[in-house]
Structure 1
Amino acid sequence: MSISSLIFSNLHFQLPTTMASMASSSSFCNLKFITKPNNGRRSSLPRIVFCQKHHDSTPTDQINRRELILRSSEIATIGAILNFGGKKPDYLGVQKNPPALALCPATKNCVSTSENISDRTHYAPPWNYNPEGRKKPVNREEAMEELIDVIESTTPDKFSPRIVERKEDYIRVEYQSSILGFVDDVEFWFPPGKGSTVEYRSASRLGNFDFDVNRKRIKALRQELEKKGWASQDTI
């Protein structure tokens, strides 16, 4: 048995659905490291092996704040142990042939302007920062500053945005959840030329579906940009 098995074999933690429901119903789970053979070698992999409901009649407003913090810390610790942040994909950035952002994987947790318009699961329309009718047109540098301002001030999914890469025509942002540390990669690209189009891609690193988190995030950003004069080629 590995050291990690000894440490975590009896680890208990709570996964509250929401803060409001934490007082009335919580799920308790055991996280165990199960040893499995792998090509003649044995490795310990984490598995949640038991869950049960616990009902508590204590009113929500009487829950101790310290207990709430401890519960959140436990979940955050589990996320760090299991690396829910994932690894940054190697294919991020502007592709060369042809110049464009990457396509989405087959999973339902990504949207991209590079997809075919017939792909209703993954396609999203580009933006235009100088659409017809904008009273005060801006140049690319000014448009990028408007975009950065919206990125930093808009968190519709409660993920924290962090700009990790910025070039004269490209921005990459990592959106991270506050509890388990899931990371979504969001890219924005200003294609060369005289046009005012902005391409983008938003994708989760882990999982097969995202409950439309990426699409809703893009929609929220677009709605804030519209207040500055931007427009979309279509609605999402």
Structure 2
Amino acid sequence: MAMATTRSSPSPLLSVSRPSRLQLRLHRRRGLIFCQRSPAEEDRERPPAGRREIILRTSEFAALAAIFHFSGTKPSYLGVQKSPPSLALCPATNNCLSTSEDVGDSSHFAPPWNYSPEDGRGKTKSREAAMAELLEVVKSSKPDGFTPRIAEKRDDYLRVEYESPLLGFVDDVEFWFPPGKKPIVNYRSASRLGFLDFGVNKKRIKALRLNLEKKGWASESSF
């Protein structure tokens, strides 16, 4: 047998003077009426983050990045190898490129650069001038936001450490001018940590090559 129900009037304590602004929704649960604001209304009423709060959040993130600084250790095999004279080969990981690799290794091989090609684009360039151009391009190019730091420099060799903007990952990039009359530069770009680089090393080498081409350089083959 159905029982008649009566609607009770809302309590004066729950009345709202401006319901259209707050957009209160009335709910009935166990005979009690309560009010609930929508998420959009809560966001509008929440005060915006103050300058101090923003600074604190930024400081916290910077502190975490400083704690988790994955720079790694410089590999002991970097530099010009003795037998035969060349830069080091790449490990089995997919985060390295080297002109010393076999041309059939598409995952690791990269062609050398010619800093004074004989195609009518300019006069013969000295090794000293080529090194100066290389340094200029290295210092001014920051692919993917990596910061370059000259770690070692000799007349025929240059090593640059590229540090990522987040968490401080470091990649080692080497350039070597082999002896002889041919105006060739060999190079190697490798990440210190991990197994994948998501194309970072290849993108870096390509960006450097494109900037060097503006100075008359050329790649020895397609890449």
TM band (smaller chain): 0.7 to 0.9
**Structure (1 or 2) with the greater helix fraction:** 2
The alpha carbon displacement at 1:77 in A equals 3.0
Question: Judging changes above 3 Å, is the alpha-carbon distance between structure 1 residues 215 and 138 closer, same or farther for their aligned structure 2 residues?
Answer: same
1:164 and 2:151 aligned: yes
TM-score (norm 1): 0.70
> Counterpart of 1:200?
187
2:14 counterpart residue number: none
Contact 1:75 1:180 in 2 (8 A): no
Q: Residues 233 and 80 (structure 1 numbering): CA distance in 2 closer, same or farther, change over 3 Å?
A: same
Q: Per the alignment, do residues 80 and 197 of structure 1 end up closer, same or farther by CA in structure 2, a change over 3 Å counting?
A: same
Query: After the TM superposition, which residues 182-221 of structure 1 pair with which residues of structure 2 at under 5 Å, given as runs?
Result: 182-221=169-208
Could you say if the C-alpha distance between residues 231 and 66 of structure 1 is closer, same or farther in structure 2, counting changes exceeding 3 Å?
farther
Q: 1:150 maps to which residue?
A: 137
Query: What's the offset of the Cα at 1:65?
Result: 7.3
Contact 2:68-2:167 within 8 A present in 1 as well: no
- Write the mapping of 1:87-236 to structure 2, written as runs, cut at 5 A: 87-133=73-119, 134-236=121-223
* CA-atom RMSD in angstroms: 2.1
Q: What is the letter of the counterpart of residue 66 of structure 2?
A: A
Report the number of matched residues: 177
> Match of 1:91, as an amino acid?
Y
CA distance in 1, matches of 2:78, 2:107: 20
Q: CA deviation at 1:83?
A: 3.7
CA-CA distance at 1:234 after TM superposition? 1.7
- Structure 1 range deviating more: 131-140 or 164-173: 131-140
Taking a change above 3 Å as real, the CA distance of residues 70 and 120 of structure 1, as seen in their structure-2 partners, is farther
Give me the whole-angstrom Cα distance separating, in 2, the residues matched to 1:231 and 1:151. Answer: 16
Question: In structure 2, how many angstroms separate the alpha carbons of the residues matched to 1:228 and 1:156?
Answer: 18
Letter in 1 for 2:193: L
Q: Based on CA coordinates, which of the two structures has the bigger radius of gyration?
A: 2
Taking the aligned partners of 1:119 and 1:105, their CA distance within structure 2 comes to 12
Q: One-letter code of the match for 1:150?
A: V
How has the CA–CA distance of structure 1 residues 86 and 130 changed in structure 2, closer, same or farther, with 3 Å as cutoff?
A: same
Tell me the alpha carbon deviations over residues 37-95 of structure 1, each in whole angstroms, 9 at most, x when there is no partner.
xxxxxxxxxxxxxxxxxxxx89xxx8877766655544443343344000000000000
Relative to the length of structure 2, the TM-score reads 0.74
Structure (1/2) with the larger strand percentage? 1
**What are the ranges of 5 or more consecutive residues in structure 2 without an aligned counterpart?**
1-42
Provide the rounded CA distance (Å) in 1 between the counterparts of 2:216 and 2:55: 41
CA drift at 1:136:
2.1
